[in-house]
Amino acid sequence: MRLILIFMSLFASISLASSPRMAAPVYKLKIDLSLEGRPASSFGLVVTAGERARISENVDGQETFIEVLADRTADGGVDLQFLVGQMSKKGERLDLGRPRIVARENIPASITVGDDGGEQMSLAVLAQKHSR
């Protein structure tokens, strides 16, 4: 009996160790950024859950960037934590905001945030599952 228990424990350990790990989901994001009610940038970005991704665009010497960290929520949604900013022509970084959007796959989601000075930023995103 003891030998059977040892064998079963050994078999379970080997099975667990050799089973493939679940790969982190990968999302294709379509991101639209508006500043002061005017379209500023549109980006396409592929991000792996749990990893930070960054994309930037330079228009007339004004670089706008977006960093995003994506994670899957317990109910199957996509938690997107953004950092939106600009780099001045002098190389100074200006953080415009850190919005967070919890979205459903294939359903557009957006957020508009403002500061005490009345400046507004809108971020719209469409998250789709992406195969590697």
Domain spanning 24-129 has what CATH number? 3.10.50
Q: How far apart are the first and last CA of the chain?
A: 47
What is d(CA 70, CA 105) in angstroms, rounded to the nearest whole number? 12
* pLDDT less than 70: residues of the chain: 1-21, 132
Grouping H, G, I as helix, E, B as strand and the rest as coil, residue 55 is strand
Within its chain, how far is the Cα of 92 from the centroid? 24
- Domains of the chain, residue spans: 24-129
Predicted pLDDT at 132? 66
Predicted pLDDT at 123? 95
Residue bearing tokens 């009996």: 1
DSSP 91: S
pTM of the entire structure?
Answer: 0.76
Residue 30 contacts residue 47 (beta carbons within 8 Å)? no
Predicted pLDDT at 127? 96
